[in-house]
Amino acid sequence: MELIFEKSVTGRRGVRAPQSDVPVKAEIPRQYRRAKDSKLPEVSELDAVRHFTTLSQRNFSVDTNFYPLGSCTMKYNPKFTESLARLPGFMDLHPLLPQLPHGEKLTQGALEVLYEMDQILCEITGMDAFTMQPLAGAHGELTGVMMMAAYHKSKGNKKKYIIIPDSAHGTNPASAAIAGYETISIPSNDQGGMDVDKLKEKLNDEVAGLMITCPSTLGIFNSEISEISEMVHAVDGIMYCDGANLNAVLGRCRPGDLGFDVMHINTHKTFTTPHGGGGPGAGPVGVTEKLLKFLPISRVMKRKSGAFYLDYNFADSIGYVASFYGNFALLLRAYAYILMLGKEGLIETSNHAVLNANYVMQRLKKYFLLRYDRICMHEAVFSAAWQAEKGVHATDIAKFLIDQGMHPPTVYFPLTVKESIMIEPTETESKQILDQFVDVMVQAAALAERHPETFKDLPKTTPITRPDEVKAARDLDTNYFLQRSIVAAGELNPLPSKI
Amino acid sequence: MNPYIANTQNDVAEMLKTIGVKNIDGLFVDIRKDQRPRSFDLPAGKSEMEVVQHITRLAAKNAHDLTLFIGGGYYDHYIPAAVNALISRGEFYTAYTPYQPECAQGTLQALYEYQSSICTLTEMDVANASLYDGGTALYEAALMAIRVTGRHKILMDGGVSPIYRKILRSYTINLNIEFVETPVAHGQSDRAEINKLIDDKTAAVILQNPNFFGAIDDHSDIIATAHKFGALAIESVYPISLGILKTPGEMGADIVTGEGQSLGLPLNFGGPYLGFMATRKEFIRKMPGRIVGQTTDLNGRRCFVNTLQAREQHIRREKATSNICTNVSLCALQALIYMTLLGKEGLKELAQLNLDKAEFAKKNLEKIKGVHVKRSAPTFNEFTVYLPKDANAVVEAMVKKGFAAGFPLGRYYKGMENYLTIAVTEKRTQEEIVQFTKSLEEVLWN
């Protein structure tokens, strides 16, 4: 398909600039002006609308396809939260208003949303206070680890390591490292839980804390988590909960009650703010009393009068982690969703998320290797190991699903399961859809058995077939204009091929 | 049952039977009794209508109808309707990270076009597929410069947004990084100070154009000095101003970041926004964040994929260039659509319009007794004024007249309690500017 730049025709316009209504024509001295115009495309509004509409049709999405992408909680995104986020009272609100003198008066409605979210998330998770500032899950992790570091610093603890299970999201070790810690990886045991003996071996006074996803990335609730918390606390370590999988346990257990000191929530998972093709997200972080004074500033507080305000006066705070108060428009969507579901709705959510995952697991376990054959939480982790013996890998099965109009599950994560296929149906899908999915997966298994060769050139129904990823990295082309100038100059491979 | 759950009682019964448990509780056996919630005291659910009514009432408690003369890096620009119409397509906003390129070409091609647009706007070689916001993008740039140079000292111009500077400090407090800030007094960067402080231990000099006071600069000379010492130059820019202003590419910058809110994103009380980042091609492998590349499929057709993923956390884990997982795809798409609608000429005209209106406002404001518009440097659509009274009190009084009059600098700059930055975008009409001037005069002298 053509790029928007290739549709550009000199003289076309997508919007008409307003006529100036001021009697001034200002000029910036030449030294400060750009020499050459940008090469942004010149297209009509219809050209643009047709281009981007056509692009949108080249995507699978929750609105159009079953999307059981494990670990991502691709549930339905209600439409009413979209219209609420576009209310002018929120959408046109300048973030510096509450920083004006007595400016809190100008943003009472927005501050109330943030304050209420804090209260609600505390009750859902058993934490004592939340910051809404982190702009994504990984950003929440970093914020959490920074508070962990501040805690140890305040106590004069000499800590060096953060312990992380080998099944963790890659963001966990990356966040720990960016905050200045070394990481120690702990293997999973044969039940998919953390190997507690290995943990005992590694625990010592230099351990700052443990980062663990609960329920785990293998879709398992580790009953030993309470005991693990005690062990970590015994060396004055901090228990960090990656709350990516909170959707499984709403009303069933709370990280705060399990011994966790700090956690993040992905609103785009559990609380259904749209994934946006890869963000924006929001990653509120909750802490218990122990870490409360280290929370980022500002914090939203409530006066006796009932008015809300931003408080910047916390001497031990880790400071600013974002420019403002978090990804407000997403937090607002999450707030609306939680209000609508209420207590029973939240419990139903986890009930059906877990029910759907277990149903798929039961129905598929004859056809795909189930690494841990036990009741699962919100997702089921299979392996394509049986199919791989015939040369059909997890990625091939993924491509087969695409041809059947279904977005594939997550493949090759967690890293601890070879050829992993991680299925998270979510609670918003019906049994009928799950049955269709199971049928397609069974077909894939049968085809792998009899005609493994047919997978190689799948998918066939999509606008493109499999891309050449090696070529993409070797002949890097990430900017249309640079590529054109390189081609014009007759250079073939202008970018360095190694780090 | 809430409307987002489709399974009926019958479905549930059949599914439980297939699984082989009696009831739903049987699926939660791994959670021990002593691990159940000590409390789960939440309100009962509501209908969609009730929630909409409640939240609409909250929206009405915000003073969103003030006429905005406040900027500070976040601007009240007009957003063409087509932007919202297109990003509201479910195929875009309910998709996720393009892990399966065959069914995500829409997102991937859009991100490639976005990267290219950022590159032509800034005149840099390569851009990533976006970061969270302007502030965190600048922090990522500082870490990138440390990776590239192997040095640990960062020189930061005092004209860089004080909010960004606070973010940088809190993120790096546990890392071995020396921050040095050069003072700025509402004008251009202080060359003498920078020359004094830069040395061969400096990883990067961080600059902003226009700076927080609105001053426009040509940083070419500072950037050349940085390069002489083997340091990188990081430039934080305001994208709309690049319709007219000298680009960071022309100045020789190594890493460019910025807040992309002004490219078609609503103010949204602080987010979601868009952090953009671009750099020179030789540094692409040290750049954080997702990068989309063009390639071909099995049939030789053009297509797009996430590339250079070996830098990222899901592959490299603790050795990754950044912990970032998501970018802000939808915001990048929003910016791309906005830039596309504007086009090359539209962006230039828009920038000129902002400039003209700001100059008109300056001319009006300096007629007020005791008000001094700072003219030590040219400005774009935001400028600094000295008021004969405390800016806080003036701003508060202006709110009563329906204006967010600007940002009082005393909040972040000691000794500047009488200074205010005022932003004037294309949305401010002549009438509003005249009324604003009148009101300010009344507040100061009546």
* pLDDT of A216 above 80: yes
pLDDT at A171: 87
Q: Which residue has the tokens 């969507």?
A: A333
Asked whether residue A12 falls in the same domain as residue A92, the answer is no
pLDDT at A491: 64
Asked whether residue A444 falls in the same domain as residue A391, the answer is yes
C-alpha distances (whole Å) from A475 to each of B16, B78, B129, B168, B414 are 52, 39, 18, 35, 52
Q: Which residue has the tokens 């049986």?
A: A386
> Which of residues A296, A317, A339 is at a domain's end?
A339
Query: Would you call A439 helix, strand, or coil by DSSP?
Result: helix
Res. A49 pLDDT band, cuts 50 70 90:
very high
Res. B225 pLDDT band, cuts 50 70 90:
very high
pLDDT at B15: 98
Domain that holds residue A400: 352-455
Asked whether residue A197 falls in the same domain as residue A257, the answer is yes
* pLDDT of A315 above 80: yes
Tell me the pLDDT tens digit for each residue of B328-355.
999 999 999 999 999 999 999 999 999 9
Interchain contact, B246 vs A476, CB within 8 Å:
no
For residue A478, list chain B residues with Cβ-Cβ distance below 8 A: 112, 115, 126-127, 284, 291-294, 307
Which of B12, B52, B116 is best to mutate for the A interface (most A CBs within 10 A)?
Answer: B116
Q: How many CA atoms lie within 13 A of A101 on its CB side?
A: 18
Nearest to B327 among A91, A251, A279 (CB): A279
In degrees and rounded to multiples of 5, residue A165 shows phi and psi of -65, 155
Asked whether residue A119 falls in the same domain as residue A171, the answer is yes
Mean pLDDT of A379-393: 97
Which of A7, A16, A34 is best to mutate for the B interface (most B CBs within 10 A)?
Answer: A34
C-alpha distances (whole Å) from A454 to each of A129, A306, A391, A399, A450 are 54, 66, 11, 11, 10
Which of B217, B326, B407, B437 is best to mutate for the A interface (most A CBs within 10 A)?
Answer: B326
Asked whether residue A211 falls in the same domain as residue A154, the answer is yes
Interchain contact, B331 vs A319, CB within 8 Å:
no
Query: What's at B407, amino acid-wise?
Result: F
Residues above pLDDT 90, as percent of chain A: 90
Res. A499 pLDDT band, cuts 50 70 90:
very low
The alpha-carbon gap from B232 to the nearest alpha carbon of chain A, in Å, equals 18
Task: Find the CATH number of the domain harbouring A249.
Answer: 3.40.640.10
**Closest to B346 in 3D by CA, of A257, A315, A38:** A38
User: Total domain count for chain A?
Assistant: 4
Give the single-character DSSP code of A17: P
Residue B234 touches partner A, C-beta closer than 8 Å: no
Interchain contact, A330 vs B19, CB within 8 Å:
no
Domain presence at residue A334 = yes
Domain presence at residue A90 = yes
B316 token code pair: 């490299």
Q: Which CATH number fits domain B81-338: 3.30.450.70, 3.30.420.40, 3.40.640.10, 2.70.150.10?
A: 3.40.640.10
Domain presence at residue A136 = yes
Distance CA A160, CA A145 (A): 12
Q: Which residue has the tokens 């939680």?
A: A338
User: Start-end ranges of CATH 3.40.640.10 in chain B?
Assistant: 81-338
Residue A489 touches partner B, C-beta closer than 8 Å: no
Domain presence at residue A161 = yes
The alpha-carbon gap from A92 to the nearest alpha carbon of chain B, in Å, equals 5
Name beta bridge partners: B259: B275
Res. A496 pLDDT band, cuts 50 70 90:
very low
The alpha-carbon gap from A202 to the nearest alpha carbon of chain B, in Å, equals 18
Distance CA A427, CA A432 (A): 13
Asked whether residue A445 falls in the same domain as residue A476, the answer is no
Residues above pLDDT 70, as percent of chain B: 100
Residue A9 touches partner B, C-beta closer than 8 Å: no
pLDDT at A497: 38
Domain presence at residue A66 = no
Domain presence at residue A346 = no
pLDDT at A179: 84
Asked whether residue A293 falls in the same domain as residue A415, the answer is no
**Mean pLDDT for all residues in chain A:** 95
Mean pLDDT of B8-20: 97
For residue A142, list chain B residues with Cβ-Cβ distance below 8 A: 171, 323
pTM: predicted TM-score of the whole model, two decimal places: 0.97
Tell me the pLDDT tens digit for each residue of B390-399.
999 999 999 9
Interchain contact, A126 vs B38, CB within 8 Å:
yes
Tell me the pLDDT tens digit for each residue of A234-261.
999 999 999 999 999 999 999 999 999 9
Listed by number, the residues of chain A in 174-213 with a beta carbon closer than 8 Å to a beta carbon of chain B are 174-180, 182-183
For residue A462, list chain B residues with Cβ-Cβ distance below 8 A: 102-103, 105
Residue A427 touches partner B, C-beta closer than 8 Å: yes
For residue A43, list chain B residues with Cβ-Cβ distance below 8 A: 340, 343
Asked whether residue A297 falls in the same domain as residue A390, the answer is no
Asked whether residue A427 falls in the same domain as residue A483, the answer is no
Asked whether residue A109 falls in the same domain as residue A243, the answer is yes
Tell me the pLDDT tens digit for each residue of B394-430.
999 999 999 999 999 999 999 999 999 999 999 999 9
pLDDT at A30: 96
Listed by number, the residues of chain A in 428-487 with a beta carbon closer than 8 Å to a beta carbon of chain B are 428-431, 433, 457, 459, 462-469, 471-473, 475-483
Domain presence at residue A73 = no
> Which of residues A339, A369, A395 is at a domain's end?
A339
Tell me the pLDDT tens digit for each residue of A186-211.
998 888 888 999 999 999 999 999 99
CATH 3.40.50.720 fits B67-77+345-445, yes or no: no
Tell me the pLDDT tens digit for each residue of A52-110.
999 999 999 999 999 999 999 999 999 999 999 999 999 999 999 999 999 999 999 99
* pLDDT of B239 above 80: yes
Asked whether residue A215 falls in the same domain as residue A308, the answer is yes
Q: How far apart are the first and last CA of chain A?
A: 32
The sign of the CA dihedral B406, B411, B417, B419 is: negative
Query: Would you call A452 helix, strand, or coil by DSSP?
Result: helix
Contact A375, A449 (CB under 8 A): no
Listed by number, the residues of chain B in 326-365 with a beta carbon closer than 8 Å to a beta carbon of chain A are 326-331, 333, 337, 339-350, 352-353, 355-360, 363
pLDDT at B12: 98
Instruction: Looking at A79-134, list the stretches that DSSP marks H as alpha helix, in order from N- to C-terminal side.
Output: 79-85, 88-91, 108-125
Domain presence at residue A460 = no
Contact A139, A125 (CB under 8 A): no
Asked whether residue A234 falls in the same domain as residue A152, the answer is yes
